Amino acid sequence: MSIVEVRHLAAGYDGREILRDVSLSVTAGDVVAILGANGSGKSTLIRTILGLVPTSHGEIQLFGTPQKRFREWERIGYVPQRLGAGSGVPATVGEVVASGRLARRGVLSFPRAADKAAVRDALTAVGLLDRIGDPVATLSGGQQQRTLIARALAGRPDLLVLDEPNAGVDAASQEAFAAALTRFAESGGTIMLVLHELGPLRPLIGRAVVVHDGRIAHEGAPPEPAGHHADPDHDHVHPHADEVKAGICEWAPAEGTKAY
Amino acid sequence: MELLAYPYMLRALAGALIIGLTAPALGIYLVQRRLSLVGDGIGHVALTGVGVGLLTNTSPELTAVVVAAIGAVGVELIRERGRTSGDLALALLFYGGIAGGVVLVGLSSDKGNSNLMQYLFGSLITMEPRDIAVIGGLATVVLVTMLLLRPALFALCNDEEYARVSGLPVRTLNILLAVTTAMTVTIAMRTVGLLLVSALMVVPVAAAQQVARGFRSTMAAAMLIGLVSAGLGVVVSAEANTAPGATTVLMALVAFLGATIGGMIRRNLRRRHNRPPVTADPPDVVLHG
């Protein structure tokens, strides 16, 4: 079944086109990584699919329905790059994650036992249940990212859309959410994620889409670490400017199967 | 305390308590959105509404709600559209509002300054039973909306894009928030006055967030602080013969100071409590000499 269908999409902000002619198809159970340089349009692509960036040409279908008429938002779990700018009003981890239930339970109804259970399950999945009553501002960057993933999981979505979930995240958190995403994929969930580099998520990715200059430059099996990147001792630290080249050029295409 | 034997003082107290409870319940969403000063701006616009009311001999409260609501929705549309020129557009709207208000009030039949001052700084003790009914009615609508829609409004103010992807009616909720802001400004106009409206929306929230850990507890604490500040403000101002609105705001600021200092002390104690014994760590560098 087609989950996301994008045909000849062009989009951008304030008349400036960032995406030109992008076509993409994601079917149920796919795990698709969207790779590309800073400014290539990879984040804009998922944000346009979710309706956060206006479309100038082309069409988008979500779960078989044109995006403009799509109403089953509870089927989509969105994980933005970071928690909205800290406003100073404290919020607990549990309160933030409970927002993820709104799409399912509706604006006017009160949370029921099932909603509370879903919040606890989602926090368990990312290993943060013990922090449920803590203010999110006291969490590390990686733990905040896991909170956002728990918020998306709490809605029990069919499709998870993540925007650079492992940017600036500590190793423990990377492992924790790689595990959570693996479980989600194993249970039949579909995942689209924007990534700067594959990292510990590499075994999970079934297909990689490389966005370059607003177009899809390559689509296929995820790149294997090559050259010195493949060395087990390589600790994969490089200056930011080089990351992109490493991602696009040093490829050795492999089998397009999911490894989990 | 025998002052409370006078009906007008009881009405003043009732009016103050209503707004003390309501303003922070709405203000917390504005603070969360980093729009702490928007209440102030809507207050400026409401003054034009007062002027229209006085000039046309209709209830100034009614015209203030209507004009403030139009202003608030306008601010919301500006905010939604462009993020760059919004700041300047807001300034134009606010100063247009207060200038228009001053001119219109001046044109109305009783040209006294007292009329203007009454709306700018509040006039609790001139409240009639009918005023209390209007304030009570509007406050009930605001309070019920804020409490009933708390999860949705929290999600909206915490992360608007996420709220959009959750399928929440973002535009409707934004406009609802704008209109309830206008209603709150109008009811606060009689107690603290338009120039201090924003203080009652923001200061109790600022105080509460020094000590609370979650959004719900911050909201409850802010409403309590607002209620107590308003009550104390009326009583103290009656005893000390000061302006009730300004006294109320000073009470809230005292609560803020108290909460800030209390929060600091508590954090320090906790840190000291959690710190491992100093002897456990060998020094990094040992100087011989």
Q: Does the residue B231 lie in any domain? A: no
Burial code (b: 16+ CB inside 10 Å, e: under 16) for A147-165 equals bbbbbbbbbbbbbbbbbbb
Residues of A in contact with B204 (CB under 8 A): none
A190-194 and A31-36 beta bridge pairing: parallel
Residues B69, B142: Cα–Cα separation, whole Å: 13
**Segments forming the whole domain that contains residue A149:** 2-249
Nearest CA in chain A to B153: A107
Residues B199, B253: Cα–Cα separation, whole Å: 9
Is 90 exceeded by the pLDDT of residue B247? yes
Q: Does the residue A30 lie in any domain? A: yes
**3-class state of residue A184 by DSSP:** helix
Q: Does the residue B47 lie in any domain? A: yes
Token digits of residue B232: 């104390």
**Segments forming the whole domain that contains residue B88:** 2-196
A258: DSSP letter: -
Output the pLDDT for position B285.
54
Pair A142, A169: CB distance under 8 Å: yes
Q: Does the residue B114 lie in any domain? A: yes
Count the domains in chain B.
1
Q: Which of A130, A169, A163 is nearest to A146 (CA)?
A: A169
Q: B260 vs chain A: nearest CA distance in angstroms?
A: 13
Residues A215, B37: Cα–Cα separation, whole Å: 43
Q: What is the pLDDT of residues B62-89, one digit of tens each?
A: 899 999 999 999 888 887 776 555 677 7
Mean of pLDDT over chain B: 87
Residues A51, A65: Cα–Cα separation, whole Å: 13
Q: Does the residue A221 lie in any domain? A: yes
Query: A-B interface: how many C-beta pairs under 8 angstroms?
Result: 99
How far, in Å, are A12, A55, A106, B146, B164 from residue A52 at the CA level? Answer: 10, 9, 21, 26, 8
Helices (H), chain A: 42-49, 93-98, 102-105, 113-125, 141-154, 171-186, 240-249
Q: B94 vs chain A: nearest CA distance in angstroms?
A: 24
Q: Does the residue A239 lie in any domain? A: yes
Which among B161, B169, B205 has CB closest to A89?
B205
Return contacts of A41-44, CB within 8 angstroms, 24+ apart.
A41/A211, A41/A213, A41/A214, A42/A194, A42/A211, A43/A81, A43/A163, A43/A164, A43/A194, A44/A11, A44/A12, A44/A18, A44/A19
Output the pLDDT for position A228.
56
Residues B111, A259: Cα–Cα separation, whole Å: 81
Residues of B in contact with A81 (CB under 8 A): none
A43: DSSP letter: H
Token digits of residue B79: 């905010």
Count the domains in chain A.
1
A207-212 and A215-220 beta bridge pairing: antiparallel
Q: Does the residue A106 lie in any domain? A: yes
Output the pLDDT for position B100.
92
Output the pLDDT for position A122.
95
Cβ pair B167:A155 closer than 8 A? no
Cβ pair B154:A134 closer than 8 A? no
Output the pLDDT for position A236.
53
Residues of B in contact with A51 (CB under 8 A): 164-165
Output the pLDDT for position A84.
67
Nearest CA in chain A to B205: A89
| B114 or A152, which is more confident | A152
Q: Does the residue A38 lie in any domain? A: yes
Q: What is the CATH number of the domain that holds B155?
A: 1.10.3470.10
Which of A18-27, A81-90, B227-236, B265-274 comes out lowest in average pLDDT? A81-90
Q: B48 vs chain A: nearest CA distance in angstroms?
A: 31
Crossing angle for the helix pair B244-274 and B197-211, to the nearest 10 degrees: 20
Residues B163, B154: Cα–Cα separation, whole Å: 9
Residues of B in contact with A91 (CB under 8 A): 154, 158, 214-215
Cβ pair A92:B215 closer than 8 A? yes
Q: Does the residue B46 lie in any domain? A: yes
Output the pLDDT for position A13.
82
Output the pLDDT for position B261.
93
Task: Give yes or no for B152 touching A (CB within 8 A).
Answer: yes
Per-residue pLDDT of chain A (260 residues; tens, 9 = 90+): 789 999 999 998 877 889 999 999 999 999 999 998 888 889 999 999 999 999 999 999 999 999 999 999 999 999 998 776 556 789 999 999 999 999 998 888 788 899 999 999 999 999 999 999 999 989 988 899 899 999 999 999 999 999 988 777 788 888 888 888 999 999 999 999 998 878 778 888 999 999 998 899 889 888 776 655 555 555 555 444 444 444 443 343 344 444 34
Cβ pair A84:B152 closer than 8 A? no
Q: Does the residue B150 lie in any domain? A: yes
Cβ pair B160:A78 closer than 8 A? no
Is 80 exceeded by the pLDDT of residue B3? no
Q: Does the residue B179 lie in any domain? A: yes
Instruction: Provide mean pLDDT across the span B268-285.
Output: 61
Q: What is the CATH number of the domain that holds A137?
A: 3.40.50.300
Q: Does the residue A259 lie in any domain? A: no
Task: Give yes or no for B130 touching A (CB within 8 A).
Answer: no
Cβ pair A73:B166 closer than 8 A? yes
Cβ pair B209:A89 closer than 8 A? yes
Which of A148-152, B113-117, B274-278 comes out lowest in average pLDDT? B274-278
Where residue B196 falls (left for φ over 0; alpha for ψ -120 to 50; beta otherwise) is: alpha
Pair B142, B21: CB distance under 8 Å: no
Q: Which of B10, B210, B277 is nearest to B127 (CA)?
A: B10
Q: What is the pLDDT of residues B39-51, one digit of tens each?
A: 888 999 999 999 9
Q: Does the residue A260 lie in any domain? A: no
Q: Does the residue B205 lie in any domain? A: no
Nearest CA in chain B to A111: B151
Chain B, residues 203-242, CB within 8 A of chain A, namely 205, 209, 212-218
Q: Which residues of A touch B (CB under 8 A)?
A: 50-52, 71-74, 76, 78, 80, 83-85, 87-92, 94-96, 98-100, 102-103, 107-108, 111, 133-135, 151, 155
Length of chain A: 260
Diameter of chain A measured on Cα atoms: 56
Q: Does the residue A81 lie in any domain? A: yes
Residue ranges with strand state E in chain A? 2-13, 16-27, 31-36, 55-62, 65-66, 76-79, 159-163, 190-194, 207-212, 215-220
End-to-end alpha-carbon separation of chain A, Å?
A: 21
